Amino acid sequence: MTRRAIYPGSFDPPTIGHLDIIERAAEMYDELIVAIGVNSDKAPYLPLDQRLQALADSTAHLPNVKVKSFSGLLVDFAQQENARIILRGLRAISDYEYELRIGLANRKLNPEIETVFLIAKEEFSFLASSVVREVARHGGNYQQFVPAPVEKLIAKRLADSPGS
């Protein structure tokens, strides 16, 4: 039986913290699907196609990682992909409280799917996509927080829309 896990998120933008979780999870599972959730109620910082490509480029060295997008319920996507594990990264207690509620709801929706938590490395425990967006917006050194393919996308976005 193939151990297939899904690592969902908005990845807007993907960070080196995300990449660390992906690399560590790729060693734990036969297949890992990095799944970008599409929320039509939110205006993304980076378009979906750019996030998909940036994550694909950033994980090209991991042959057992696929990058996909989904809309709707995560448990439905997991079932569609024959994945029984939903992987979530935890940086702080506040992440755990939020993720626990989501994990319990997902278990209620589909008891066959388990949620597994992977703790962020200390050097990434502060890092969130919102931090990267804020640093970039104010002209700070965001490059240290993102993989190279993402760095180029943010630079282009800043050049196309100064101050955003």
**Strand partners of residue 6:** 33, 86
**Which entry of 4, 51, 88, 129 is annotated as an active-site residue?**
129
Q: Which residue in 42, 101, 130, 164 is the catalytic one?
A: 42
* 156 included as an active-site residue: no
> Has 51 been annotated as catalytic?
no
18 is an active site residue? yes
Task: Sheet with 114-119: list strands edge to edge.
Answer: 65-70, 31-37, 4-9, 85-90, 114-119
138 counts as catalytic: no
> Considering 18, 88, 133, 157, which one is annotated as catalytic?
18
List the catalytic residue out of 24, 66, 68, 91. Answer: 91
Q: Give the active site residues.
A: 18, 42, 91, 129
